[in-house]
Amino acid sequence: MKDKTIDYILRATWQAVARMYNEEAAKYGATMATGFVLLSIDKDNGTPSTTLGPRMGMEATSLTRTLKSMEEKGLIIREKNPEDGRGVLIFLTEFGKEKRELSKNTVLKFNETIKEHISEEKLQHFIETSEIINNLITEKKIF
């Protein structure tokens, strides 16, 4: 990997992670996106639909499609936001809460397995490096 570029390593790693999560989610008739939406919705108070996309880094069209599919599967319900009549709150159904727990356990298992194979010091360096890369991009210091 010494001759690979940083962006190649990031992209290849993320694609491997996404493929792994999608393969696991497929066992339950879901997708990685569905799992991340389940984890992004406040399980007690619901979440405004407008905050989900930015929170997950998902485009509005993809999010709309994912939410529609989740509603059809009985994972979520949409209700008018009582504080803002134009807005919609997304709530988990009981079935959605069960699947959220499954998604949560899947993410925790991934993290536990990584921590078993990578020292705390190396993980901390990885986190710090990722934060620096994200900040450089956010602050438009690359291009």
- Residue 101: Cβ within 10 Å count: 13
For residue 42, pLDDT beyond 80: yes
For residue 1, pLDDT beyond 80: no
Read off φ and ψ for residue 8, nearest 5 degrees.
Answer: -65, -45
Indicate the SS3 state at residue 102: helix
pTM: 0.87
Predicted local distance difference test score (pLDDT) of residue 87:
87
Rounded distance between C-alpha atoms, residue 79 and residue 74, angstroms? 14
CA 96 to chain centre: 15
Candidates 35, 46, 45; CA nearest to 98 is: 35
**Element at 112 (helix H, strand E):** helix 94-117
pLDDT in tens, 55-114: 888 888 999 999 999 999 999 999 998 888 788 999 999 999 999 999 999 999 999 999
Rounded distance between C-alpha atoms, residue 102 and residue 39, angstroms? 10
Identify any residues that bridge with 48 across adjacent strands, giving them in sequence order. Answer: 89
